[in-house]
Amino acid sequence: MAQPAVEVVDLVKRYGGTKAVAGLSMSVPPGTVTAVLGPNGAGKTTTVETCEGYRAPDAGIVRVLGLDPRSDARALRPRVGIMLQSGGIYPGVKAAEMLRHMASLHAHPLDVDELLDRLGLGPSRRTAYRRLSGGQQQRLSLAMALVGRPELVFLDEPTAGLDPQARRATWELVAELRDAGVTVVLTTHFMDEAERLADQVVVVDHGVVIAAGSPGELMSQGARNTLRFGGPHGLDLTGLQDVLSPDSKASEVSPGHYLVEGTIDPHLLASVTAWCADQGVMPRDLTVESRTLEDVFLELTGRELRQ
């Protein structure tokens, strides 16, 4: 396999006494989109900023394009485009002026006017950064990450604060970047964004990776289907467990509320209802549901993604 574009092994980063990142590992294949997903304070930005060379790891290894982000910074900077979570631009600078300046720092930059038009900033060319709307500021920051034609970009919450239309446009742009062979690492706390965009999702919480894989894998691994039903409390489930396949599990989650987890298919449903008939139990509120990444996340972290 090709050398990973980004490789993080057992990264630890402390701020004072608290560990913002506590032994995080991930690997980003070149030419793919990786979404680092997690709630606020999970350690996403710290991880990304360590990859960008802003912070030195307290322990662990970080390699970006095979290089050390700090000691090889000079060689890396032209090759990596970054979008900070916020700010990074002089308030008084005009949109086109800032982008043109960023372009002038690179050897083969994109055409500045075309890029501004592409991001819907054409009419705001001569507007000072502080007078741009939040969404326009985000897009200018994104343009600055791209103008140098990097082979790898880090986008820290690229769609935070964008309206749905601008979000969609950003998604299209990220897909286009991948098609052009650019490796994209982005952070987000939008589940749908990760599902839509990413080849790989890395779910982070409390500074560690709690799940990783393609959106499909995550759904099928972590998010198994569930079957719920109600009945008298205290039913002996050993008999039910015997007739279920080994990868399924029956439990009484609260008195009178039963949960069967596993691959829920018609055979399993038939087994459950047959067992109920044997017990002389009429199952109430029998429901089959497939859990979403959102549920998996809730289960893994005990928290909502967006608080």
Report the SS3 class of residue 67: strand
Q: How far is the CB of 165 from another protein (least distance, A)?
A: 17
Pairing between β-strand 80-83 and β-strand 208-213 as defined by DSSP bridges: unpaired
Single-letter code of the amino acid located at 152: L
| Residue 119 is a binding residue for another protein (CB under 8 A) | no
Q: How far is the CB of 300 from another protein (least distance, A)?
A: 32
Q: With CB under 8 A as the contact rule, which of the stretches 78-86, 203-211, 248-256, 297-305 interacts with another protein?
A: 78-86
**For another protein, the closer CB: 101 or 196:** 101
| Residue 232 is a binding residue for another protein (CB under 8 A) | no
**For another protein, the closer CB: 8 or 272:** 8
Task: Give the span between the Cα atoms of 99 and 146, in whole angstroms.
Answer: 10
Pairing between β-strand 6-15 and β-strand 18-28 as defined by DSSP bridges: antiparallel
Residue 275, by phi and psi: left (phi above 0), alpha (psi -120 to 50) or beta?
alpha
**For another protein, the closer CB: 14 or 101:** 101
Q: How far is the CB of 7 from another protein (least distance, A)?
A: 19
Q: How many residues bind another protein (CB under 8 A)?
A: 41
Instruction: Check if the beta carbon of residue 176 is closer than 8 Å to that of residue 168.
Output: no
| Residue 89 is a binding residue for another protein (CB under 8 A) | yes
**For another protein, the closer CB: 48 or 191:** 48
Q: How far is the CB of 111 from another protein (least distance, A)?
A: 8
Task: Give the span between the Cα atoms of 261 and 239, in whole angstroms.
Answer: 16
Taking CB under 8 A as the criterion, the residue among 5, 24, 143, 146 binding another protein is: 146
Instruction: Check if the beta carbon of residue 230 is closer than 8 Å to that of residue 213.
Output: no
**For another protein, the closer CB: 184 or 223:** 184
| Residue 126 is a binding residue for another protein (CB under 8 A) | no
Task: Give the span between the Cα atoms of 302 and 287, in whole angstroms.
Answer: 23
In this structure, what token pair is assigned to residue 250? 């029956």
**For another protein, the closer CB: 146 or 197:** 146
Instruction: Check if the beta carbon of residue 284 is closer than 8 Å to that of residue 304.
Output: no
| Residue 151 is a binding residue for another protein (CB under 8 A) | yes
- Please work out, in degrees rounded to the nearest 5, the angle formed at the alpha carbon of residue 287 by the alpha carbons of 282 and 291: 150
**Binding footprint of another protein on the chain (CB under 8 A):** 52-54, 74, 77-80, 82, 84, 86-93, 97, 101-102, 104-108, 110-111, 114, 144, 146, 148-151, 176-177, 179-182
